[in-house]
């Protein structure tokens, strides 16, 4: 069993606290089986709202899925609250979510609409869809352009045990 961090990198202009709009956000991930290393054909949805029984154990996980190739069962659970990506992180990777995995690991993130960000220049908040890798808007209160560009993500082995 291991922990994987989802890290985000983006260039934030006049905004901060870039985060999914819901604590129980439904993430779309592609998983790779850790025994046969095949990637799942479809994206799987994982949320802290969901729970499934792990076969042959009393445990539960947010997502339990069987590998279509080797038939081994894998399980994954989100073990952290979504963390906001702040203006201070701009341009470098920061961990925004931690996932505990058994038998499978997330390797790719699918479209993720429904994010929010706050203006650094006024009290305005914005709804953001970073799926295209960039987002532009205008802060009426402060009369400045706001943007989030060069959005990239990666999964890394968590340093946290
Ligand atoms: Zn497999």
Going by pLDDT thresholds of 50, 70 and 90, the confidence category of residue 132 is: confident
**CB atoms closer than 10 angstroms to residue 103:** 20
- Give the range of the structural domain holding residue 118, as residue numbers without chain letter: 6-157
CB atoms within 10 A of CB 158: 18
- pLDDT by residue (tens digit) across 34-53? 999 999 999 999 999 999 99
pLDDT tens column, 92-126: 999 999 999 999 999 999 988 999 999 999 999 99
Q: Is pLDDT above 80 for 160?
A: no
Ion ligand 1: protein residues whose beta carbon lies under 5 Å: 33, 36, 67, 69-70
**Residue scoring higher pLDDT (150 or 1):** 150
| Strand partners for 152 | 9
What is residue 58's predicted lDDT score, i.e. its pLDDT?
82
Task: Please give the pLDDT value at position 1.
Answer: 67
CA of 33 to the centre of ligand 1 (A): 5
Mean pLDDT of the chain: 95
Domain tally, the chain: 1
User: Whole-prediction pTM value?
Assistant: 0.94
Compute, in angstroms, the gap from residue 11 CA to the centroid of ligand 1: 37
Please give the distance, rounded to the nearest whole angstrom, from the Cα atom of residue 40 to the centre of ligand 1.
Answer: 9
Ligand 1 centroid to residue 62 C-alpha, Å: 19
Residue 138 lies in a domain: yes
Greater model confidence, 154 or 112: 154
Paired tokens of 65:
């899925």
CA 2 to centroid of ligand 1, rounded, Å: 17
Cα 42 to ligand 1 centroid, rounded to whole Å: 14
Q: Where are the beta strands (DSSP E) in the chain?
A: 2-13, 15-20, 27-33, 44-46, 52-53, 60-61, 63-66, 73-78, 94-102, 104-109, 115-119, 125-128, 135-139, 144-157
Would residue 23 count as lying in a domain? yes
Rounded to the nearest angstrom, the distance between the alpha carbon of 58 and the centre of ligand 1 is: 22
Q: Is residue 1 part of a domain?
A: no
């Amino acid at each position: 069993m291991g922990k994987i961090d989802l890290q985000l990198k983006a260039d934030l202009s006049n905004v901060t606290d870039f985060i999914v709009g819901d604590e129980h956000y439904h993430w779309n991930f592609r998983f790779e089986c850790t025994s046969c290393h095949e990637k799942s054909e479809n994206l799987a949805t994982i949320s802290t709202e969901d729970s499934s029984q792990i076969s042959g154990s009393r445990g539960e996980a947010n997502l339990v899925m069987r590998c279509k190739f080797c038939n081994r069962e894998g399980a994954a659970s989100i073990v952290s609250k979504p963390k906001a990506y702040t203006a201070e992180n701009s341009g470098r990777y920061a961990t925004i979510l931690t996932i505990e995995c058994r038998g499978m690991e997330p390797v790719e993130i699918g479209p993720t609409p429904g994010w929010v960000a706050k203006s650094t220049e006024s009290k305005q908040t914005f709804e953001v869809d970073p799926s295209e890798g960039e987002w532009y808007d205008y802060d009426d209160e402060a009369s400045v352009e706001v943007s989030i560009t060069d959005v990239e993500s990666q999964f890394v082995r968590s340093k946290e045990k």
